[in-house]
Structure formats: C-alpha cells, structure tokens
Homo-oligomer: A and B are copies of this chain.
Amino acid sequence: MSGNTLGNLFAVTNFGESHGPAIGCVIDGCPPGMVLSEADIQPELDRRRPGTSKFVTQRNEPDQVEILSGVYEGRTTGTPICLLIRNTDQRSKDYSEIARTFRPGHADYTYWRKYGLRDPRGGGRSSARLTAPTVAAGAVARKWLREKFGTTFRGCMTHVGELAIGFESWDHVPDNPFFAPVADVSAIEDYMNALRKSGDSCGARVRVTAQRVPVGLGEPLYDRLDADIAHALMGLNAVKGVEIGDGFASAAHKGSMHGDSLRPSPPGGFASNHDGGVLGGISTGQDLEVAIAIKPTSSILVPRQSVNTAGEAVELVTKGRHDPCVGIRATPIAEALLALVVMEHALRHRAQCADVPVPAGF
C-alpha cells in the first residue's frame, strides 16, 4: 500500500527521480498471453515527451522504454513487467542554492519537512518527469482493454489559461502540439507566445473520456469507479480539481433535468450523460467523461518572495527548462491514468462477478 503504487490487481509501482540514472515502473498483475513489445508503449511516451515544440520544456529526453521482465517471446507471461526509462539529459549544475530555498508553489518545502531532506535536481521525485512511467503503464492497460472490450481513451485540452478553446473534432487533436480539438490553433499560439515573453506561466483544463467501457465496473462505497478516477487524476502533479460528467455544473441542476433516463431498445442506452458514465459508483456503459483543472507551472522567471531553510527571506527566479503550461502535456497522462483505473476495475469486477450473466436485451 505504500504510496507509490497505483492499483491493486493491476498494480503499478513507480520509481525514480528527475535527474537520477533512471525512472520506471513495475506492473504486477497484467493478464498473460497479450502480445506486447516496446513498440506498443513508445508511441504513448512520444506523445508526452518533452522537447517536441517550443511551447514545452526544451529538455531533450528520448524517453526510450525498455521492458526488463514479464514478457517472453513477445507475450506477457503474467509476471511483473518492469519498464525502465533511462534519464539522458540531466544537466549537471550547482543545486546547492535551490536545495536551500523553497520555491513558491513547489513541493520543495513539503518534501523537506516530510523527509528531512530532498533531491533538488530538477524537482527530484516531484518532477512532472515521473509521469512518464505512468504513461508507459497506461499503454499496457489500454492495449488490453482495447483488445478485450474495444475500450478506447482520448483527451483534449479545453482551456489554456483564460482562453477557452472550444471543441470542433477529436480529429484535430493529433495535429497540434496542444492536444486542442480545433483546426486553427493560432489563438493558442498567440496566447502562449505572449505568456512566454512575460516570463509567466498559466493553468489549463483538460477533458478525458473513455468509450466502450463495460457496464458494472466499480464498487458500491469508497472504492467507487468515480472515486478511483478522482484519486488517480487528482494524484497527477498540479491538478487542483476533478469533475465527472457535468461536474460542478451539477450543483445548479434540477433533478428533473439531470437524471439520465434509460431508453428502450432500439436504440437502448441512455438519453443523456450528465453523470459521465457512472451511477452509484459503477459504470453505466456510457462514455466516461472527466475534466481536470491544472494549476500554472510554479517555475517561472518572474521574481517571487520566499524563504530559505534557515527561515530567512529570499527572492527567487526559477531558471531552467520548464513548461510554461504543464497542462499542455497533461492530456496523454490523463488518458493513461483513466485507463489504469478502468483496467483495475475490469479485473476486480471479474474477480467477484464473473458468473453474473448479461441479461437479454442489454
């Protein structure tokens, strides 16, 4: 149960620091017999990878994944899969100053107080770099869910800072560096260019969804599907809010409008999806609809007031290679996290309920 494992049956244990020799994860519980190689994982890592546009950190990491175990002759064996990613672009520099001061909005102070010491190199364990193993594990889950149920996951950025992006089509998402579902991203580029010139950073909102999710995933209380989705996504660096379905807008709804009605077949299903694919903590078979809010990057060139480990006042400017909007690269990570939660519950569900028949007409 120690804090760096996500999931119980499809358990992903994450390790590593931003500037250590390597980062990675161990996946325990993957079903056996699935065709798997690095080629199944690398494309997802490439989507998340730094250095791919001028709007994200210029750290140049190939994020090349290596499967160390759990695969034999191209198939998963059911034993733990260790995925390793070597760090290659850790610039050596003097971290003694950073180690002594607490950057506003960073985990510097809390790590120091919790552990009594911290690895200050590139944010250490609290670096967004540690989302790479999550994305790699998510790729394994996505493959299994796609092959087993046809489940797919996709996401897009819906807001960057104050700018609402709008939604035109999922088809546009791969065509721009913002994961924006619009054909023309010039407004986003202008916004981001102005932001970079100011030396400041901004937040973002990201939407992530799943299609063809089996009905019945989740537990009645506490470990509900929506609860575990919220856990996974709020556990992502810089996330400050999670919504399922209509989310905060639901608070202003009337019951007569909000409750999703079932329809007779054909076409069956539901007449609406205000609840985002979850009722009573259990999946309805509709699309899972999740939105997250990401705070602005804490590392900025604008000078900030803070204190050092002696409690003295200092002024800080965070140099280095940073994403001006960490939300930009959050989309593939959020998809991976959603996939990991669905995977976990798919296995839990069949552990308990494999004998429950699918009723006729549903």
Contacts and interface: CB of A to CB of B under 8 A. Distances in A.
A129 B229 CA distance: 24
Contacts of A20: 68-69
A13 B239 CA distance: 28
Contacts of A222: 3-6, 14, 231-232, 235
A305 B33 CA distance: 29
Given A234-B230, A264-B312, A355-B31, A3 B255 contact: no
What 9 A-B pairs are tightest by C-beta distance, nearest first?
A107-B280, A3-B219, A105-B259, A227-B235, A201-B255, A231-B231, A104-B259, A230-B234, A2-B28
Interface string A209-243: 00000011111111110111111111101011111
20 contacts: A1-B8, A23-B69, A26-B26, A31-B352, A33-B117, A72-B118, A77-B118, A110-B284, A113-B362, A226-B235, A240-B246, A243-B293, A248-B248, A248-B293, A253-B296, A255-B299, A259-B300, A261-B305, A263-B305, A263-B307
A259 B304 contact: yes
Contacts of A278: 110
A360 B355 CA distance: 23
* Residue from A161, A237, A281, A357 whose CB has the most chain B CB atoms within 10 Å: A281
A252 interface: yes
Interface in A23-70: 23-24, 26, 28-33, 66, 68-70
A359 B118 contact: no
Contact of A203 (B22, B258, B260): B258
A28 to B, nearest CB: 4
Tally of this chain's copies? 4
* Residue from A104, A276, A348 whose CB has the most chain B CB atoms within 10 Å: A104
A70 to B, nearest CB: 7
Given A203-B250, A282-B111, A302-B256, A220 B4 contact: yes
A251 interface: yes
A307 B362 CA distance: 11
A203 B247 CA distance: 11
A275 interface: yes
Interface string A101-117: 01111110111111111
Nearest to A144: B355
A309 B115 CA distance: 37
A252 B201 CA distance: 10
A331 to B, nearest CB: 14
A192 interface: no
A15 B306 contact: no
A205 interface: yes
B117 A205 contact: no
A335 interface: no
Contact of A110 (B81, B102, B216, B240): B216
A93 B17 CA distance: 38
B115 A353 contact: yes
A6 B252 CA distance: 29
A125 interface: yes
Contacts of A253: 161, 202-203, 295-296
